[in-house]
Homo-oligomer: A and B are copies of this chain.
Amino acid sequence: MQFELTREYLNDLKEAIVRNDELALIELVHELHPADVAEILDELELEEATVLYKVLDANIASDVLTHMDEDKRDRFLGSLSSKEIAEQLIDNLDSDDAADMLNLFAQEQKEEIISMIEDRQQARDIVDLLHYKEGTAGALMAKELIRVNVSWTVSTAVKEMRKQAEAIDHVYTIYVVDGEGVLVGRLPIKKMLLTPLKTLISDIYDSQIKFVKVDEDQEEVVSIMEKYDIVALPVVDELGRLQGRITIDDVVDVIREEAEKDYALASGISGDVDSSDNVLTLTRARLPWLLIGLLGGILGARVIELYEGDLQLYPEMAFFIPLIAAMGGNAGVQSSAIIVQGLATKSMGMSGILPKLGKEFMVGLLNGLVCAVIIFGYNMIFGDSLALSYTVSLALLSVIIIATLFGTFVPLILDKYDIDPALATGPFITTVNDVLGLFIYFIIGHLLYIA
């Protein structure tokens, strides 16, 4: 039952495209889900995709585009006229998907497309949605939903719902509003199934309902929907009037995006790239963090240069330079990751910064002691300088503790000033701790060797 895109299938399809064999193409994509067709289009060249797209059924063609890989889709949209986009795509999409797609175009073409939308209600909804700032509840919501008036009977409600239901894919929740359009509650589908038709909605609706304002931040939206297991969250304006609803599938996308962004930052990748992007895009996304690393390396070189005299006398000190630098980086990244994760999932509890630093100090101390003892043992067995053994172990202990505290402190401070704490993970922390570690190592070495 599950569709799987195979190389054979793709070859058959490409041959049918070359032959321009419309019947064979229809046969091949017949009854496929839009998400599967999108997967196929992602694998085709632009010209091939255009041929296939033309044979698609009108009512799936628009959904197919919402499932496509963004880069591929953008190029594909570029090959369509404003009229085609308005009539074949925008008219058939949910208002939120339509608005997202329109946002891909420059202002001028955007307006041209909007003027060509046949369904004027849809055009109004889309224009409304385009006003909301990206990253807010308003920008995330769809206008399509089912609303009933609190003064209606179940029978009237059912009649009205039939009309409204035509336009939407999933019902999820029936929202109850008053005469002014103000959200007052919800009508559980269960209850509607169980109540006589003459009952008034006001007698059976549930006034306990979670909602957000249009300008609420999307991270707050995600947090509320996750915490309360909400599948469709209503969005209201400043006067409490129902404006739209945010469905769980959009929230899943946001969760994915934010997790990917944090992961990318922790790995030193800026911007939203994936392995299918081209070489230049991939290079550009990585270069900034490599340059930070380079800068750190240069600073490290300067630190070592300061102690060139020590190194000439005791070249064995150079042996442990990579160890000290790497361990500072590792310990710092670990601490910052735990803090970033805790902030993202709001599982940090209510304690302040000081108790957290105290706890991390203990963690750093324990880990540092274990590592220092191991490396001391190694140096006693394989090394031949007692001073070096002391230096390396003492420096390692200090570096791990300081890096741990630093990795805890920086994301907490960033978060306090509303800067994304994920910026503190990855190459930034690693680089700073590398340099810091070298300083500590050589200062301790200098003191111990001279003594």
Residues of A within 8 A of B (CB): 1-2, 5, 7, 10, 31, 33, 35, 42-43, 67, 69, 158, 161-162, 165, 170-172, 189-190, 193-194, 208, 210-211, 224, 226-229, 231, 248-249, 251-252, 255-256, 259-260, 262-264, 266-269, 273-276, 279-280, 282-283, 286-287, 289-291, 293-294, 296-298, 300-302, 304-305, 308, 311-312, 315-316, 318-327, 329-331, 333-334, 336-339, 341-342, 345, 347-350, 356, 359, 362-363, 366-367, 370-371, 374-375, 378, 400, 425-427, 430-431, 434, 438
**Inside 8 A of A322's CB, which chain B residues have their CB?**
296-297, 300-301, 304, 321-322, 325, 434, 438
Q: Are B338 and A290 in contact (CB under 8 A)?
A: no
Q: Are A323 and B341 in contact (CB under 8 A)?
A: no
**Inside 8 A of A229's CB, which chain B residues have their CB?**
35, 249
Q: A250 to nearest B CB, angstroms?
A: 9
Q: Are B283 and A367 in contact (CB under 8 A)?
A: yes
**Inside 8 A of A228's CB, which chain B residues have their CB?**
33, 35
Q: Are A326 and B323 in contact (CB under 8 A)?
A: no
Q: Are A267 and B321 in contact (CB under 8 A)?
A: no
**Inside 8 A of A319's CB, which chain B residues have their CB?**
300-302, 304-305
Q: A208 to nearest B CB, angstroms?
A: 8
Bound-state Cα–Cα, A286 to B327, Å: 12
**Inside 8 A of A430's CB, which chain B residues have their CB?**
326, 329-330
Specify the chain B residue showing the minimal Cβ separation from A320: B301
Q: Which applies to chain A's interface (DSSP): helix, strand, loop or mixed?
A: helix
Specify the chain B residue showing the minimal Cβ separation from A359: B279
Decide yes or no: A171 and B189 within 8 Å by CB, A263-B341, A268-B330 being known contacts: yes
**Inside 8 A of A33's CB, which chain B residues have their CB?**
210, 228
**Inside 8 A of A331's CB, which chain B residues have their CB?**
286, 290
**Inside 8 A of A438's CB, which chain B residues have their CB?**
322
**Inside 8 A of A326's CB, which chain B residues have their CB?**
293, 296-297, 300, 325, 329, 430-431, 434
**Copies of this protein, total:** 2
Specify the chain B residue showing the minimal Cβ separation from A232: B231
Q: Are B321 and A321 in contact (CB under 8 A)?
A: yes
Decide yes or no: A256 and B255 within 8 Å by CB, A291-B371, A294-B371 being known contacts: yes
Give the residue of B256, B266, B338 whose beta carbon is less than 8 angstroms from that of A274: B338
Q: Are B294 and A374 in contact (CB under 8 A)?
A: yes
Decide yes or no: A366 and B283 within 8 Å by CB, A43-B349, A276-B347, A320-B301 being known contacts: yes
Give the residue of B296, B300, B316, B367 whose beta carbon is less than 8 angstroms from that of A290: B367
Give the residue of B252, B302, B311, B334 whose beta carbon is less than 8 angstroms from that of A315: B311
Q: Are B337 and A264 in contact (CB under 8 A)?
A: yes
Bound-state Cα–Cα, A69 to B375, Å: 38
Q: A253 to nearest B CB, angstroms?
A: 8
Q: Are B224 and A2 in contact (CB under 8 A)?
A: yes
Decide yes or no: A252 and B248 within 8 Å by CB, A311-B318, A431-B326 being known contacts: yes
Q: A316 to nearest B CB, angstroms?
A: 7
Q: Are A162 and B193 in contact (CB under 8 A)?
A: yes
**Inside 8 A of A7's CB, which chain B residues have their CB?**
350
Bound-state Cα–Cα, A208 to B34, Å: 13
Specify the chain B residue showing the minimal Cβ separation from A336: B267
Listed from nearest, the 5 A-B pairs whose CB atoms lie closest are A297-B323, A267-B337, A259-B259, A300-B322, A275-B342
